[in-house]
Amino acid sequence: MSTWTAVLAAAAIAFATKLAGYVVPPAWLEEPRTRRVTGALPAALLASLVVLQTFSTGRDLVLDARAAGLAVAVLALVLRAPFLVVVVLAALTAAGLRALGWG
C-alpha cells in the first residue's frame, strides 16, 4: 500500500463519517440512550489517552514515574485541589522520582 493510497483512504473514511452525521435520522439522535453515550464519549476518550500515555512506551507496558505522578494527581483531585495544583504536584512527583533514578 503506497502512502497516497493510505491518504486517500483516510480522506474517504473521514468524508463518509461526516456524511453519516447528516444522513442519520434526527429521531435516532434524540433518544435518551444516544444522548447518554455521546455525553460520556469525551470523558472515555480522555481517560483512554491518559492510560495509554501513562502505562505504555511503544509496544511495552511500563510502570514508572508517570504512574506515580498520575496516582498523586488522582489523590489531589479526590482532595478537591485546584487543577493547577494537581498538574504541578503530578509533574513534581514524576520529576522527583526520575531524578532519583526511577523511571
pLDDT in tens, 7-36: 999 999 999 999 998 998 988 888 999 999
For residue 61 the three cell numbers come to 507496558
pLDDT confidence of residue 67:
96
Report the C-alpha gap between 58 and 70 in whole angstroms: 19
- Tell me how far the alpha carbon of residue 90 is from its chain's centroid: 17
Tell me the average pLDDT across 42-65. Answer: 93
Instruction: Give this prediction's pTM.
Output: 0.67
For the chain, what are the domain ranges? 63-103
Nearest one of 96, 76, 94, 75 to 85, comparing CA atoms:
76
> DSSP string of 39-81?
HHHHHHHHHHHHHHHHHEETTEE--SHHHHHHHHHHHHHHTT-
CA dihedral sign, ordered 95, 99, 100, 103: positive
pLDDT band of 58, cuts 50, 70, 90: confident
